[in-house]
Structure 1
Amino acid sequence: MPRHPFLHGTYTIAPTPFLPTGELDRASLGTMVDMLVGLGVQGITMLGVMGEVDKLGDAERDVIIDDVITAAAGRVKICIGTSHVATDRCVALSKRAAELGADALMVAPPRLAKPNDAALRSHYQRVAAAVDIPVVVQDHPISSGVLMSVDFLANLARDVPGCNYLKLEEEPTPAKTTRMRAAAPDMVIFGGMGANMLLEELRHGADGCMTGFGFSEILVAICNQWAAGDVDGATQTFYQACPLIRYENQPGINLAIRKYIYMQRGAIAHAHVRAPSSPLPADVIADLHDIVTRLGLIQHFKGAHA
Structure 2
Amino acid sequence: MPRHPFLHSSYTIAPTPFAPDGSIDRASIATMVEFLIGLGVQGITMLGVMGEVDKLGDAERDLIIDDVVTANRGRVKICIGTSHVGTDRSVAYSKRAVELGADALMVAPPKLAKPNDAALRAHYHAIAAAVTVPIVVQDHPVSSGVLMSVDFLANLAREAPGCNYLKLEEEPTPAKTTRMRAAAPDMVIFGGMGANMLLEELKHGADGTMTGFGFPEILVKICAQYVAGDVDGATQTFYHACPLIRYENQPGINMAIRKYIYAQRGAISHAHVRAPSAPLAADVIADLHDIITRLGFGQHMKTKGA
Give your verdict on TM over 0.5: yes
Query: Which residue does the alignment assign to 1:224?
Result: 224
Amino acid at match of 2:133: I
Q: Distance in 2 between matches of 1:248 and 1:81?
A: 22
Q: Distance in 2 between matches of 1:202 and 1:5?
A: 17
Q: Distance in 2 between matches of 1:161 and 1:95?
A: 15
Query: Which residue does the alignment assign to 1:172?
Result: 172
Q: Is 2:14 the counterpart of 1:14? A: yes
Q: How far did 1:61 drift?
A: 0.2
Query: Which residue does the alignment assign to 1:103?
Result: 103
Query: Which residue does the alignment assign to 2:128?
Result: 128
Query: Which residue does the alignment assign to 1:43?
Result: 43
Q: How far did 1:232 drift?
A: 0.4
Amino acid at match of 2:284: V
Amino acid at match of 1:296: G
Q: Distance in 1 between matches of 2:186 and 2:108?
A: 20
Query: Which residue does the alignment assign to 1:70?
Result: 70
Amino acid at match of 2:99: E
Q: Distance in 2 between matches of 1:189 and 1:144?
A: 19
For 2:162, what is the secondary structure of its paired residue? coil
**Structure 2 stretches of 5 or more lacking a match?**
none
Query: Which residue does the alignment assign to 1:295?
Result: 295
Q: How far did 1:159 drift?
A: 1.0
Q: Is 2:259 the counterpart of 1:259? A: yes
Cα distance change, pair 209–78 in 1 and its aligned pair in 2 (3 A): same
For 1:163, what is the secondary structure of its paired residue? coil
Q: How far did 1:304 drift?
A: 4.8
Q: Distance in 1 between matches of 2:285 and 2:110?
A: 36
Query: Which residue does the alignment assign to 2:238?
Result: 238
Q: Distance in 2 between matches of 1:304 and 1:258?
A: 17
Matches for 1:51-200 after TM superposition, within 5 Å: 51-200=51-200
For 1:283, what is the secondary structure of its paired residue? helix
Query: Which residue does the alignment assign to 2:213?
Result: 213
Q: Distance in 1 between matches of 2:126 and 2:64?
A: 25
> Which string of whole-angstrom CA distances, capped at 9 and with x for unpartnered residues, describes residues 35-90 of structure 1?
00000000000000000000000000000000000101111100000000000000
Q: Distance in 2 between matches of 1:184 and 1:83?
A: 23
Give yes or no for contact 2:289–2:304 (8 Å, CA) kept in 1. no
Q: Distance in 1 between matches of 2:98 and 2:129?
A: 12
**Stretches of 4+ aligned residues off by more than 2 angstroms:** none
Q: Distance in 1 between matches of 2:46 and 2:303?
A: 29
Amino acid at match of 1:168: L
> Which string of whole-angstrom CA distances, capped at 9 and with x for unpartnered residues, describes residues 174-213 of structure 1?
0000000000000000000000000000000000000000
> Which string of whole-angstrom CA distances, capped at 9 and with x for unpartnered residues, describes residues 144-196 of structure 1?
00000000000000111100000000000000000000000000000000000
For 1:166, what is the secondary structure of its paired residue? strand
Q: How far did 1:110 drift?
A: 0.3
Alignment root-mean-square deviation, CA: 0.8
Query: Which range is displaced more, 273-282 or 201-210?
Result: 273-282
Amino acid at match of 1:22: G
Amino acid at match of 2:207: D
Q: Distance in 2 between matches of 1:258 and 1:134?
A: 27
Q: Distance in 1 between matches of 2:263 and 2:196?
A: 22
**Structure 1 stretches of 5 or more lacking a match?**
none
Q: How far did 1:303 drift?
A: 4.5
Q: Distance in 2 between matches of 1:239 and 1:303?
A: 25
For 2:210, what is the secondary structure of its paired residue? strand
Q: Distance in 2 between matches of 1:266 and 1:5?
A: 31
- Of all paired residues, the percent bearing the same amino acid is 84
For 2:6, what is the secondary structure of its paired residue? coil
